[in-house]
Amino acid sequence: MTFFESHLSCKGKRNIIFSLTKTKDDNMSMNMIFFGPPGSGKGTYSDRICPGFGIPHISTGDIFRHAIAEKTELGKKVESLLKTGKLVDDKTVMNIIKERLKKPDCKKGFVFDGFPRTLEQAKELEKIAKIDLVINLNLADEILIEKALARRICEKCGNVYNIADIKRNGISMPPLLPKKTGICDKCSGKLIQRKDDNEQTLKDRLDVYREQTMPLIEYYKKRGMIKNVDVVAGPEIMVPKILAVIKKELKA
């Protein structure tokens, strides 16, 4: 079994950045960003790919929630901002990122989820990590909405499932079902549908995503980093396709 084939057996959320240490030189790293609209499968792909690389999955949202729960100074600031409907400012986000990357589990690399979201964040990120590749996942809005409406999330651990079975127009996406209906495989928690997973909210979310992300895509496109990947199937097909892109870049 090859290095990359071994990752396909990993069982396993948002923009995702991979930082992988190149095997041919411990001083070199592969830093990647995943862009893709809500429902394009970024969380599922990261869950299945990342464990094989032995690197942490870092979500700014998870960091915020943990800080709020721990009632740290950062948590209090973030909670205050969120309660008033304000976004967490770029300076605070970048301070969080810098501190997170100092932890020992980031020594071999990392995966960012939900970052960067602004041009300022992208520019600041370049000061602490060189980006080598940006993968842009593409999927039609009607499919994204159908998938999102069928999404089910564990209320305890956040593991994601999907009850949609989509087969049309060259797209084949089988459902991602738990072993027991309505129960999470990982922690036996109850599976729920998010309140904001309704058609109008999803359309609004897609509009916001494009408004925020297009400048970032153009930013990285001008640097020759963008690779477009059309999502046409489930993880058993898409994970190897994404790994093939990573493999090619590791060999470069």
- Do residues 15 and 31 touch, judged by C-beta distance below 8 A? no
- What CATH number does residue 143 fall under? 3.40.50.300
pLDDT for 3 beyond 60: no
198 within some domain: yes
Please say if 117 is a catalytic residue.
yes
Look up the pTM and report it.
0.77
pLDDT band at 125 (very low <50, low <70, confident <90, very high): very high
Q: Is residue 65 flagged as an active site residue?
A: no
Please report whether residue 32 resides in a domain.
yes
pLDDT computed for residue 24 by the predictor:
43
The parent domain of residue 128 ranges over: 3-56+103-251
Given a cut of 50, whether residue 13 has pLDDT beyond it is no
Residue 178 lies in a domain: yes
Catalytic-labelled residue, pool 13, 14, 48, 117: 117
The one-letter amino acid at 207:
D
Residue 48, classified by CB atoms within 10 Å of its CB into exposed (0-12), middle (13-18) or buried (19+), is: buried
Annotation marks residue 91 as catalytic: no
Q: Which of 13, 48, 151, 152 is catalytic?
A: 151
Question: 207: helix, coil or strand?
Answer: helix
| Total tally of structural domains belonging to the chain | 1
Examine the residue annotation and report whether 222 is marked as an active-site residue of this protein: no
Checking if the pLDDT of 105 tops 80, the result is: yes
